[in-house]
Amino acid sequence: MRPTKLKVGLVQQAVADNDKVTNWNKSAEQIAKLAAEGCECILLQELHSTLYFCQQEDTDAFDLAEPIPGPATEFFGELAEKHNIVLVTSLFEKRGSGLYHNTAVVFDRSKEIAGKYRKMHIPDDPGFYEKFYFTPGDMGFTPIETSVGKLGVLVCWDQWYPEAARLMAMAGADLLFYPTAIGWDLTDTDDERARQHGAWETIQRAHAVANSVPVIVANRTGFEASPVDGDPGIQFWGQSFIAGPQGEILAKAEADGETTLSVELDMERTEKVKRIWPYFRDRRIDAYDDLTKRWRD
């Protein structure tokens, strides 16, 4: 039986270097803290093992990737089993020579991998040169079945696409998870920073509203200097949050500082909200064919 009450948690972390073991141990301390608070399902941020290496295009950065299964999945699988939790992690996956993905891996109270998701939407912007590193995912939008429900796991840039959230929800996702690594260019004005953050939070809360499911978002914090001379680096804006099925903010972290969040979710309320706001009943699927086109020319 799935729980009617589910305590979820997330870790908001800063990364100082590419020492994976140190970064894993930092995450492990916070995972243990959340598990001790009664969290049964815990989310880590995007690419939590290392610095955000996508600030430049550098073939040496591929050395940071690892296979699945591999050292990271072994480490975090043992934590999931030790603490009897569902754990959502994020890895730079080496699928094969010259073939890499940005991949979320889920463990269900066991060392064994319950499922994974490969990031589908890959950005390419100044300071975020992800297309150089990541092949777009080829696993589609399929929730991962766990002991606490079906988890719709998406990754960072996926957060801007309502189609991705909708397809996860249509496949029965009970919750949506977004591990992210997003921040400001230090040359942006305060007004522009506020607009960017507002858009980021609003779109993800809207996924909760449109699909009547809770949304859990773990974002990186701290400043990471660019390895490119003259580039401003990235101030990751933290502000991780957990929203309920009507988009209401249940918990939110500060912009600066490493922290954890935990919330007890009433999973029965999701069903009640879907009965009151039956969006899926009223969808006009007979009129949406053009959504599969790039553009309506």
User: Beta 215-219 vs 86-96: how paired, if at all?
Assistant: unpaired
If you average pLDDT over residues 21-30, what whole number do you get? 98
236, 182 Cβ separation under 8 angstroms: yes
Q: What is the pLDDT of residues 77-116, one digit of tens each?
A: 999 999 999 999 999 999 999 999 999 999 999 999 999 9
Cα separation values, 24 from 85, 95, 112, 179, Å: 17, 21, 18, 16
Q: What is the pLDDT of residues 11-24, one digit of tens each?
A: 999 999 999 999 99
Does the active-site annotation cover 41? no
Q: How many residues in total does the chain contain?
A: 297
Among residues 46, 130, 201, 224, which one is catalytic?
46
Residue 234 has pLDDT above 90, yes or no: yes
If you average pLDDT over residues 229-254, what whole number do you get? 96
Percentage of the chain surpassing pLDDT 70?
100
Residue 1 has pLDDT above 70, yes or no: no
Confidence band of 65 (pLDDT split at 50, 70, 90): very high
Residue 241 has pLDDT above 90, yes or no: yes
30, 221 Cβ separation under 8 angstroms: no
Paired tokens of 187: 């040359």
Separation of first and last alpha carbons in the chain: 49
Does the active-site annotation cover 46? yes
Does the active-site annotation cover 119? yes
pTM: 0.97
Sheet strands side by side (includes 113-118): 113-118, 99-108, 86-96, 41-43, 5-12, 259-266
Paired tokens of 97: 């020579």
Q: Report the 10 Å Cβ neighbour count for 168.
A: 29
Q: What is the pLDDT of residues 217-232, one digit of tens each?
A: 999 999 999 999 989 9
Average pLDDT, the chain: 97
Among residues 41, 93, 156, 201, which one is catalytic?
156
Q: What is the pLDDT of residues 168-197, one digit of tens each?
A: 999 999 999 999 999 998 888 999 999 999
Among residues 93, 119, 150, 224, which one is catalytic?
119
Confidence band of 2 (pLDDT split at 50, 70, 90): confident
